[in-house]
Amino acid sequence: MSRRKRKDHILTALIGFSALLSVTILVGIIGYVFYRGIRNVSLDFLVTVQSPVRGAMGIAGNIVNTLYIVILTLAAAVPAGVGSAIYLNEYARPGKLVSMIEFTMETLTGIPSVLFGLFGNVFFGEVLGLGYSMLTGAFTLMLMVLPLIARNTQEALRTVPENYRSGALGMGAAKWYMIRTILIPSAMPGILTGIILAVGRIVGESAALLFTAGSGFYLPKPGMGLAKKVFESGGTMTIEMYLQMAKGNYDVAFAIASVLLILVLFMNFLTRSVVARFGAEGRKERK
Amino acid sequence: MTGNHMTGNQKKRYFTEKTAEWMFTACGLIAVFAVASITIYMLMNGIPALFETGLTELLFGTLWQPTAAEPSFGILFVILTSIIGTAAAVLLGAPLGILTAVFIEETASGTLSALVKPAVELLAGIPSVIYGLLGIYLLNPVMYKLELKIFADSPDHQFTGGANLISAVIVLAIMILPTVISVSASAIHAVPASQRAASLALGATPVQTIFKVTLPSAKSGIAAAVVLGTGRAMGEAMAITLVSGSSVNFPLPFHSVRFLTTAIVAEMGYASGLHRQVLFTIGLVLFVFIMFINLTLTKVLKGREEKE
C-alpha cells in the first residue's frame, strides 16, 4: 500500500512538474520577447523605411509588404476555401471524389512551408513567369491557408440546421439563392474564424515566402507603383526579422518580434471574441 | 420572394444554377490539383540530380561540398540529422506535452486549466522565426559555454559557438509542445466519464486511473498528437536554420548540423545548376518523409473512427 502511495506521489509530481515546465517555457518566450524588444519599438520604427545610407532603421516597407501579401492571399484563398467547403457540404455526394478532396486537404495541412516555398518558386515564379513577387508569394500562401478556411467554413455549415435549407428550397428558392442568402450568412462566424486564423498564419510565415516573395524593404511608389508592386519582390516583417537576426542585429530582430507578437495576440483575441459571440449559438443549434 | 420574379426566366435560372455548381466543384478540386502539382513538380525537379550524380553517391554520400571546384553532393548526414533530430525532439517534447495535457484535463482545478489551455493555444500561433531568435540569442551561448567545458581537452573538436544539434533539438521540442498538448488534451477530454468512475469505484487511486484507464483509452488520439508533432518537427525550417549551425556533419550532440529543411533554406538563395537541383532532391526526400508521416496519421485517425 505504501509503495503504491509513493508511486502515486511521484507520478502526480511528474505531471505537475511537466505542466509547470511547459507553461514556464511558453509564457517565458512571450515575456522575454517583450522584455528585450519592446523598448526599441517606436513610432519612428513603424513609419520610416530602413536606409543604410542614413543609418535609419524602420519597418514601414515591410509592414506594407505584409499587408500586400495578406490581402492578395485572402483575395485568392477566401473564395476558394469557402467555395470548396460549400461544394463538400452542399453539392458533393459521398464517394471517391469527396474522400480524395478531403485527403488532399489533409495533405496540404501537413506539407512543410519550406516545400511550399520550393513549389511556389518553380511553379508560380518560373513556369508562370511571376518571378520573385508579391503575387508569387500570395499564390503560394493561398495553397497553405486554403485548408484552414475550408475546414472552418465546413464546420460552420454543418451547424446550419437542415430545415433552413429545406425551408428555403421548399419556398421555391433556387439552390444558389439559398446558399447566397441563407447558408453563407449563417456560416459567417466560421468563415471569419478561418480568415483570422489564416491572417495569423500569413503574418508569421517565413520559409514559404523567402523564395517566392523574396526580400526587400522599400515602400511602393505612389500612383501606378501601388499596382505594379504586386509584380515586384518584397519582404514581410517576418522575413526582415529573419534577415536581421542572421546579420546579428538582435535589437532590430527583437523589436520586430515584439510587433509580430502583438499582432498574434490581437488575432488570438479576435478569434476568441468571434467564437464567444457566435460559437455558443452554433453549438446550441447543433444539439 | 423577389427571387421568384428575378429567376422567372426558367432558362436563366437553370444557367445560373449550373454555373454555381460548376464554380463550387472547381473550388473543391483546387486542393486535389494543388497536391497533384506539388507532387509532380517535386518529382520533376528532384529526380534529375539523382541520375546526374548517381543515386547511391547522392543519398549515401557523406561529403557535402556543393561549391568546390570538384563538387560533391552527399546528403546522407543531412538525412540522418533530420531523422535523429526529429526523433530526439519528439522523445523530449511528447512526454512533456502529454503529461501537461493530463494536468489540464485531469489533475488541475477548473480555473487553473482554464488559464493554461488558452495560453497553450496562443503559443501555437507564435511565428517560428521567433523561436529561432530565442534559440540563437539565449540557447546558443549556454551551449557554447558547455562546449568549452566539455571539449577543453580535445583539440580535434571543431567549435561551433553553440550552434549545434542539441540547440536545434531543444527548439524543436518546444515548438511541438502546443500541438502535442492540445491534440492529446482533446483526446483525453473525449474519454467517457463513466470509465473513470468505474475505475475509481473499483478502488483504483486517481493516479492509477489516469495511467491505467484514461490514457490507454485515449491512446489513438495521443498517437495522432505525437505523429502530428513529428510532422511539425520534421518540416520546421526557419526556427532552426541559424540555431543548428552551418555545416554538414554527422549528427552528434555538439556538432554543427544541417537538417533537410535548413539545407534548403540556407543554400537556395545562391544555388544554381546541379547544386540547385540537389536542393530539390533534398526537398523530395523531405516530401517522401512527410507523406509517410501523413499516411500514418490518416491510418491512426481512421483506426480511431472505426473503434468508435
Is B129 within 8 Å of A242 (Cβ atoms)? yes
Strands A56-59 and A49-51: antiparallel
Task: Tell whether B211 lies on the interface with A, counting CB pairs under 8 A.
Answer: yes
Which of B31, B104, B131 is closest, CB to CB, to A108? B31
pLDDT tens-digit map of B106-158:
888 888 888 888 888 888 889 999 999 999 999 999 999 988 888 888 877 77
Strands B72-73 and A56-59: unpaired
Please list every residue in chain B whose beta carbon sits closer than 8 Å to the beta carbon of residue A264: 122, 125-127
From the CA of A223, how many Å to the nearest CA of chain B? 31
The C-alpha cell at B208 is 492509477
Task: Tell whether A185 lies on the interface with B, counting CB pairs under 8 A.
Answer: no
The C-alpha cell at B203 is 478502488
pLDDT at B305: 66
Burial of B67 (0-12, 13-18, 19+ CB in 10 A): exposed
Of residues B159, B176, B94, B163, the one with CA closest to residue B135: B163
CB spacing of B177 vs A22 below 8 angstroms: yes
Per-residue pLDDT of chain A (287 residues; tens, 9 = 90+): 578 888 889 999 999 999 999 888 888 999 999 999 999 898 888 888 887 777 778 898 999 999 999 999 999 999 999 999 999 999 998 889 999 999 999 999 999 999 999 999 999 999 999 999 999 999 999 999 999 999 999 999 998 898 888 888 888 888 888 999 889 999 998 999 999 999 999 999 999 999 999 888 888 888 788 888 889 899 999 999 999 999 989 999 999 999 999 999 898 888 888 888 776 444 444 33
Is B259 within 8 Å of B78 (Cβ atoms)? yes
pLDDT tens-digit map of B5-38:
554 577 888 888 899 999 999 999 999 999 999 9
Which of B21, B181, B207 is closest, CB to CB, to A8? B207
Strands (DSSP E) along chain A, which ranges?
Answer: 49-51, 56-59
Neighbouring-strand partners of residue B73: B64
pLDDT at B218: 93
pLDDT at A283: 44
Q: How far apart are CA B207 and CA B5, in angstroms?
A: 68
> What pTM was computed for the model?
0.90
Q: Residues 37..76 of A with a Cβ closer than 8 Å to B: which?
A: none
Tell me the ipTM for this assembly. 0.90
pLDDT at B52: 87
| Backbone φ, ψ for residue A58 (5° rounding) | -155, 160
Which of A23, A101, A119 is closest, CB to CB, to B31? A101
Please list every residue in chain B whose beta carbon sits closer than 8 Å to the beta carbon of residue A147: 31
CB spacing of B24 vs A12 below 8 angstroms: no
Is A259 within 8 Å of A46 (Cβ atoms)? yes
Task: Tell whether B15 lies on the interface with A, counting CB pairs under 8 A.
Answer: no
pLDDT tens-digit map of B156-177:
777 888 889 999 999 999 999 9
CB spacing of B122 vs A84 below 8 angstroms: no
Please list every residue in chain A whose beta carbon sits closer than 8 Å to the beta carbon of residue B95: 18
Please list every residue in chain A whose beta carbon sits closer than 8 Å to the beta carbon of residue B124: none
CB spacing of B129 vs A26 below 8 angstroms: no
**CB-based burial, A103-125: b 16+ in 10 Å, e otherwise:** bbbbbbbbbbbbbbbbbbbbbbb
CB spacing of B129 vs A18 below 8 angstroms: no
Is A239 within 8 Å of A215 (Cβ atoms)? yes
Mutate to test the interface with B, among A20, A25, A69, A111 (most CBs of B within 10 A): A111
CB spacing of B28 vs A108 below 8 angstroms: no
The widest CA-to-CA distance across chain B, in whole angstroms, is 90
Is B259 within 8 Å of B51 (Cβ atoms)? no
Task: Tell whether A79 lies on the interface with B, counting CB pairs under 8 A.
Answer: yes
